[in-house]
Chains A and B, each alone.
Chain A
Amino acid sequence: MTKFVLKRLAHTVIVLLGVSVMVFFLIRYLPGDPVDLMFDGGDDEATAEAIAAGREAFAEGRGLSGSLPSQYFNFLGEISRGDLGTSLFRNVSVTTLIRQTLPLTFQLAVAGQLVNMLLSFPLGMLGAAKQNSIWDRGGTALALIGTAMPNFWQGIMLILVFAVWIPIFPVSGVMDLGIDLREVTHIPVVDAVITGNWAALKSLMMHLALPAITLGASASLVRILRSSLLEVKHQDFMDAYRARGVRERSVTLHMLRNALPTTVVIFGIRLGTIISGSVVIETVFAYQGMGWLLINGINQRDYPLVQGIVLTFTVFTALASLLTDIVHGWLDPRVKVTSSA
C-alpha cells in the first residue's frame, strides 16, 4: 500500500513535469507580452528612454529576460524550492494568491458535488427500483438535459431568473461586503461555523447557491448509479438474499453497497473535470476563486500566476485519482491496491 502510494506520487511528479513544460511554453506562445502590457501607452518622447530602462529592469526582476529554455530551467529551479514566483501585476507571491483562492474554489466544488449527489442518489435509486417507469424515464431525461446543457449558459439563466427577475440570490461574489469573518481554516464556510458567525454563513450560502446548483445540476451520477444498481439488482446473490427471507429494504441496502464502487470511480475520474468546470462557473458568477484568478491571469498574460494555478490543478487532479483508487480498493475486496497497478 505504501509502495503503491509512493509509486503513484512519483508518477505525479512526472505528470507535473510534463504539464509544466506545456503551460510554460504555451502561455508564452500566446500573442501579447506582459512587459508590453505593463509599459503600454508611453509614446511620449521624453519618457521613452525611461520606459526602455524600466522594461529591462522589470523583465530582469521577474525572470523574463534571457532565452526561453533558460527561463524555463530557472522556473523549474524555483518550483523545486516551492517558490511559484510573483504575480507580474499583483506584486504578490503566487503561493499567497493560491492560498487565498483555493479554499473558495474548494468550498464551491464541495457544494456543487453535494447538489449533484442530492439529485443523483434519489433519481438513480428511483430509476433502478422502478425501471422504465415514468420516474425512471423522467430522471434519466433530466440527467441528460443537465449534462447536455452548457453550464455557463445554465449559470446565466439562473442569474437572470433567481437574481434579476426574482431577486432571491445575489448576482455575484463570495460574500456580502462589510461582513467581518475571522479566519481560522481559511475556508470561509467552515470558519463561519467555527466562529458561530451566522450572518456570514447565511451570506456565504446565498452566494454559493446558484454556482453550486449550476455545477451540480448536471446530476452526472444519475445514469451511472442507475445502471450499476440495475446490474447488481439482477445478480443471483440478490435473489439469494430474498430467498433467505431478507426484507426488500435490506436487499436494497446491499444493492447500494455493491453498486457504490463503480459510482465512486466515475466520481473520482470526474473530480478533475469538476475543478476545471469551476473555472467557467467562477467567471460567470464573478466568484473570486482560483478559476476566476486563472482567467484573469490568462487575460493579463500573468505567466507565473497561470503556471502556478495550472500546476495546482494538476496536483489536485492527481491526488483525487490516487484517493479514488485507494477508496475503490477499500470498497471492493476484489480490487487489490498494489504497486504494480
Chain B
Amino acid sequence: MTAPIPEAADVAADDTTRPPALELRHLTKSFKVGSESFGRASRVKAVDDVSLQIESGTTLGLVGESGSGKSTIARLVCRLLTPDSGQVLVDGVDVAEGRRRSKAYARKVQIVFQDPTASLNPRWKVRRTIAEGIRAHKLRPRDEIDARVRELVDLVGLPENSLDRYPHEFSGGQRQRIAIARALAVEPEVLVLDEPVSALDVSIQAQILVLLQNLQDLTGLTYLLIAHDLAVVQRFCDRVAVMRTGEIVESGDPSIIHSNPQHPYTKALVEAHPVPDPHRRGAWGIKSSTNGQGSVA
C-alpha cells in the first residue's frame, strides 16, 4: 500500500520547525446579495478576517450553524473561490500567487464534498473517476495507473469489482468512499472534508469516520473537517474552531469547548445538541464528562 504522503513519522520529529500544513491569514470573502437593478444590492461578509492554523497530520474541526461561512472557507481553501483579501498558505507557501487555480495547488489540497451523489460524475465509471486525477497530474506512468486505482479502491475499503460500475450503483457510504479515493488519487497534503458524513445514515457515518481516521494514521494527512455535528467533531478532531456569521468566535481543544464554552454562541450550540439519554440531557456528547449544569435545550 502506497501512502500518499510519506512523512507521517517525520511530523512529530520536526513539529516545532515545520510550518503549519494549512494556514489561513486574515481571510475575507463577501458576496453580493439582492438585485442591482432594484437598488437593493448589498454585500454580505461570508468570511470575515478568519485566521487559522492546522498542524501537519492533525484535524481541525470547523463547526457552526448553516450560513456561518464554514463551506465558504472550504471553497476558499480549495481555490474554488478567490478571497477578497487574506492568504491561504500550504506548508508556509502562499500557493495562490499567480494563477487563480493552479495544478500545483490542486496537488496539495483536495476536497471531499458533502453529498457524494452530486459530487461524482454520473456518466463516469469508478475507474475513470479515480484515474482522472492521477492522469491529470501525471503521477504515474500510463501503464501503472490501473494498478494505482486498484490500490486506492482497496485503501478506502471498496471491493475490486467496483471499478467498472457507475456511481448510482453504490450506496451513499460507498459513494463517499469513491469520493475519498478520488481525492487521495492526487496525493494531497491537506484534505478538506466539507460535511463528509452529514448526508449519510448514522450507522454509515461512523464507518466513514473510522476510514478517515485510519487514512490519517497511515499517511499523515492533514484534515480540515467542516461539520455541524458536535459529537462527530469531538470524536474526531484535535482542535475545534466555532464559527458564527463569518467569524471565528472560539477555538481550542474539543473537550474544553465542550466542558467550558466561553462564548455564549458556543454555549448555545452545545446546548442545542440533542442528547439521546434523558439522564444526561444538558451535558454534551457521547463521551460526556457531565458537568451537572442540567440546562435543557
Contact = CB atoms under 8 A, between A and B. Distances in A.
A239 B110 contact: no
Nearest to A132: B35
Interface stretch (A28-36, A240-248, A320-328): A240-248
Contacts of A45: none
The winner among A242, A245, A334 for most chain B CB atoms within 10 A is A245
Contact of A334 (B111, B137, B168, B182): B168
Which of B101, B107, B137, B168 lies at the interface centre, i.e. has the most chain A CB atoms within 10 A of its CB?
B101
Contact of A258 (B104, B113, B122): B122
Nearest to B192: A243
Interface of A: 235-237, 239-240, 242-246, 254, 257-258, 331-334
15 contacts: A236-B119, A239-B75, A239-B111, A239-B119, A240-B120, A243-B79, A243-B80, A244-B137, A245-B107, A245-B186, A246-B136, A258-B122, A258-B123, A333-B168, A334-B166
Given A242-B101, A245-B105, A245-B106, A237 B186 contact: no
B121 interface: yes
B136 A245 contact: yes
Contacts, number: 67
B123 A245 contact: no
B109, B121, B168: most-surrounded residue (chain A CB, <10 A): B121
Contacts of B111: 239-240, 243
A243 to B, nearest CB: 5
B118 A244 contact: no
Contacts of B118: 235-237
A230 to B, nearest CB: 15
A323 to B, nearest CB: 20
A244 B187 CA distance: 11
B169 to A, nearest CB: 9
A132 to B, nearest CB: 9
Interface residues of B, number: 32
A236 B136 contact: no
Contact of A333 (B103, B110, B122, B182): B122
Contacts of B166: 333-334
Contacts of A334: 122, 166, 168
B123 A332 contact: yes
B207 interface: no
Interface of A is mostly: helix
B102 interface: yes
A245 B78 CA distance: 10
A230 B179 CA distance: 23
B136 A244 contact: yes
Contacts of A331: 123
A334 B113 CA distance: 21
A283 B105 CA distance: 62
Contacts of A254: 121
B132 interface: yes
A243 B110 contact: yes
A244 B110 contact: yes
B59 to A, nearest CB: 19
Given A258-B122, A333-B168, 18 more contacts: A236-B119, A237-B119, A239-B75, A239-B113, A240-B120, A242-B80, A242-B101, A243-B79, A243-B109, A243-B110, A244-B106, A244-B136, A245-B101, A245-B106, A245-B107, A254-B121, A334-B122, A334-B168
A331 B123 CA distance: 8
Nearest to B104: A245
B29 to A, nearest CB: 16
A180 B86 CA distance: 75
Contacts of B113: 236, 239-240
Interface string B45-87: 0000000000000000000000000000001001110000000
Nearest to B106: A245
Contacts of A245: 101-107, 136-137, 186
Interface in B133-148: 133, 136-137
A239 B109 CA distance: 13
